[in-house]
Amino acid sequence: MWLALGGLAVLAVIASFVWQHFTTNGRPAPGNPPASADEDIVPDQAATYALYAGSSTCTECHDPAHAEWAPSNHGLAERKLDAKLDLPAFDPPKVFQHASQTTEARFVNGRYELVSLGYGTNRAPYELVRVIGNNPLRQFLIERPGGRLQVSEACWDPLTNEWFNVYGAEDRMPGEWGHWTGRGMGWNAMCAACHNTRVRKNYDETTDSYHTAMTEPTVSCEACHGPMKDHVVWQRSWRSSGKPWPPKLELDPTLAKPSTNQVFSMCGSCHARRADLTGDFRPGDDFMDHYSLTIPDETDIYYPDGQVREEDYEFAAFLGSRMHFRGVVCMDCHTPHQALPALKGNDLCLRCHNGSREDSPVIDPVAHGFHAEYKSGNLCTECHMPVTPYMQRHWRHDHGFTVPDPVLTKEFGIPNACNRCHKDKDADWSIEWTGKWYGEKMNRPGRTRTRWLARARAGNPEARAPLLELLNTEEVPYWQASIIMLLRQWIEAPEVAAAVRAKLGHPDPLVREKAVRSLEPLLPVPGSEVGGLLRPMLEDPVRCVRVAAAWALRASVDPASRAGRELQHMLDFNADQPTGQLQKAVYDLAHNH
């Protein structure tokens, strides 16, 4: 095994795993951000922010869309406390127990406060300055020195009107990374970017402080549409000229119709578990130019069939689905301004599965699902998009559109939708019924792939040859990338290295990036030619591939090159977390050894 190559290699592996992170960011803090030498990586903040018009200007022409957005979970993603929305949670005072601790929510002298165990050894009152989230839960922000905002683990459920702890009975304590006082609950690094618009974290490592800024609080119009000041100026000019109103869209030179991939990337920028490479995604950019996506690999972050296991969000599972592979995108199912399903129940799925699309099989939910109409189990989503609770109260649909397979439950402990509902039955009961209903259809390619991925994850060497075969037959790039990551444990085998090397030229950047990461352990092997193979990847057209190559070649990459500077920017950006410091240490050891 390549892990025997030395302690530095082990450190590098650990550091590679910490790429499974989220973004940062925030709210304006006193002072100016540190000067940046990477303006070609992240453009100047003042010049960038000057391109934004603000959501209030959109109502001049788009009032119906604005009215749909304003009360949505996007429109209320982050805001100031409001008496109408928030006072019932604090007045009269409310006390709740969570594990060994007690927290009180109260409104005193015009201040919203939580009295809880925090920075000292005793409970103390902490003033709340902002709210993040809306439905089904709201968390609160507490201002701290150094430009920090910390996120309360005490949450308010507006549906049941009760307080609860977002970590349930874990009983996290001060000093722990994941306690509300720790870096794991720091708003600047863990929450702000996806609850606000065009956030700059602006972390200063020398002072361990933040100068976080944004163009506008909450997920505003321009969070999804991009900066629109030029559009507003042009439209106002047209209107004042007396020309026919409204102008045709194609006449507006400030507008460009986004591609489906650009829209998908925009949604994925927040609805994905990923490592942030730049801290400055903007609508219109490609996801892979800003993030390294977390996918099923040797860890337990996902189940081997692709179902979400940890808090993985929706993007990656959907990217691995047959639905996405056949061209379905977020806006095919979700309304753009409310982010809600476009239709209720099975009507949404039957828009395509009713014979109107040539490439979509016709589905009769009753005949296909063997559950009577209007009965539990009849909804397509109950079987193919099962829900998992996160943050105690947030039930999220899996977007992998997987097939429930109790055989995989019995063999590998992978959950299936049948037994998620029929909790009083076992997997054998579900196997009997799915066998009666679907017969040989259950023995599908996805089952075969899952079996070998599960065995590879367990380190079973018998999985090596089948994975190599799957790498050549699998259509979906997402799953090719996953197979490549699982083959990394056998990368010293010549046939494995050759198969992975061949994927360096794959048209999908996700596959190329994971191929680079999988080949990295071969670099110290005497006689290895991997260094020569990876060096051209420093000039790949997509940033996630370049950064992966720069990390693999960190001992020799030119710090002044584009890829070298992009890697250094990523390391500096993530330096406010322990895992980021580990990565910097590994880089320094390799580069200065």
pLDDT class of 39 with cuts at 50, 70, 90:
low
CA distances from 393 to 135, 164, 387, 591 (A): 9, 9, 12, 46
Higher pLDDT, 497 or 15: 497
pLDDT of residue 356: 87
Average pLDDT over residues 123-148: 98
pLDDT over threshold 60, residue 578: yes
pLDDT number for residue 311: 96
Q: Is the pLDDT of residue 525 over 80?
A: yes
Which pLDDT belongs to residue 540? 98
Instruction: Kindly list the distances between the CA atom of residue 322 and the CA atoms of 158, 360, 363, 384, 514, in Å, as whole numbers in the listed order.
Output: 36, 11, 16, 12, 21
From the number of C-beta atoms within 10 Å of its C-beta (0-12, 13-18, 19+), residue 111 rates as middle
Q: pLDDT at residue 18 above 80? A: no
Residue of 43, 25, 318, 58 lying closest to 194 (CA atoms): 25
Of 399, 382, 381, give the one whose Cα is nearest residue 307.
399
The two tokens of residue 586 are 């590994």
pLDDT of 232 reads: 97
Rounded distance, CA 269 to CA 290, Å? 8
| Position 33 confidence tier, pLDDT thresholds 50, 70, 90 | very low
Of the candidates 137, 144, 186, the residue with the CA atom closest to the CA atom of residue 160: 137
Helices (H), 371-524: 380-384, 406-412, 417-421, 427-438, 445-457, 464-473, 477-487, 494-502, 509-519
pLDDT at 8: 39
Give the DSSP letter of residue 503: G
Rounded Cα distance between 25 and 153, Å, is: 18
How would you label 224-253 residue by residue, b for 16+ Cβ within 10 Å and e otherwise? bbbbbbebbebbeebeeeeeeeeeeeeeee
Tell me which residue of 101, 68, 70, 102 sits closest to 85, measured CA to CA. 70
- List C-alpha distances in Å: 580 to 104, 202, 587: 35, 15, 11
Q: Which two tokens stand for residue 404?
A: 């429930």
Angstrom distance (rounded) from CA 24 to CA 274: 12
Tokens 């009983």: give the residue.
Answer: 171
Q: Smallest Cα–Cα separation from 457: which of 251, 309, 278?
A: 309
Backbone angles phi, psi at 50, to 5 degrees: -70, -15
- Chain centroid, CA 300 distance in Å: 16
How far, in Å, CA of 509 to CA of 541, rounded? 9
Could you tell me the CA-to-CA distances from 299 to 236, 304, 310, 514, 573 in Å, in that order? 53, 10, 11, 14, 25
Average pLDDT value for residue range 101-117: 98
Taking residues 412-416, what's their average pLDDT? 98
Q: How many CB atoms lie within 10 A of CB 206?
A: 6
Cα–Cα distance, 493 to 516 (Å, whole number): 16
Q: Which helix (H) or strand (E) holds 209?
A: strand 209-210
How far, CA to CA in Å, does 177 sit from each of 18, 173, 185, 337, 579?
15, 9, 8, 36, 11
Rounded CA-CA distance 51/253 in Å is 15
CA distances from 48 to 29, 41, 200, 226, 455 (A): 18, 13, 11, 11, 49
CB atoms within 10 A of CB 304: 24
Where residue 330 falls (left for φ over 0; alpha for ψ -120 to 50; beta otherwise) is alpha
Q: What is the pLDDT of residues 535-568, one digit of tens each?
A: 999 999 999 999 999 999 999 999 999 999 999 9
Full 3-state SS string of 140-191: EEEEECCCEEEECCEEEECCCCEEEECCCCCCCCCCCCCCCCCHHHEHHHHC
- Most confident region among 2-11, 39-48, 280-289 by mean pLDDT: 280-289
Phi/psi for 430 (5° steps) reads: -70, -35
Strand, helix or coil for residue 588: helix
How much of the chain exceeds pLDDT 90, in percent? 89
- Residue 123 is inside which H or E element, if any? strand 123-127
- pLDDT tens per residue across span 146-192: 999 999 999 999 999 999 999 999 999 999 999 999 999 999 999 99
| Residue 12, token pair as written in the block | 């590098």
Instruction: Say if strands 216-217 and 196-197 run parallel, antiparallel, or are unpaired.
Output: antiparallel
Average pLDDT, integer, range 470-497: 98
- The token duo for 511 is 């596959």
Percentage with pLDDT > 70 across the chain: 93
Which pLDDT score, from 0 to 100, does residue 593 have? 61
Residue 204 to residue 509: CA distance in whole angstroms: 32
**Partners of 104 in beta bridges:** 95, 115
Q: Rounded mean pLDDT of the chain?
A: 93
Q: Is pLDDT of 36 > 70?
A: no
Q: What is the mean pLDDT of residues 356-383?
A: 93
Alpha-carbon dihedral sign for residues 421, 422, 426, 427: negative
Cα–Cα distances in angstroms (integers) from residue 470 to residues 402, 452, 465, in the given order: 18, 9, 9
Strands 203-204, 209-210: pairing is antiparallel
Cβ contact 371:379 at 8 Å:
no
Q: Which domains does the chain have, with CATH numbers?
A: 2-17+449-592 (1.25.10), 45-222 (no CATH)
Residues 6+ apart with CB under 8 A from 311: 273, 390, 391
The yes-or-no verdict on residue 228 having pLDDT over 50 is yes
DSSP 410: H
pLDDT for position 159: 97
pLDDT at 20 over 90: no
SS3 of 510-525: the string is: HHHHHHHHHHHHHCCC
Give CA 298 to chain center in angstroms: 19
What average pLDDT does this structure show over 375-395? 96
Asked if the model's pLDDT at residue 504 lies above 70, the reply is: yes
Both tokens assigned to 47: 């010049």
- Which pLDDT score is estimated for 10? 39
Alpha-carbon 374 to chain mean position: 34
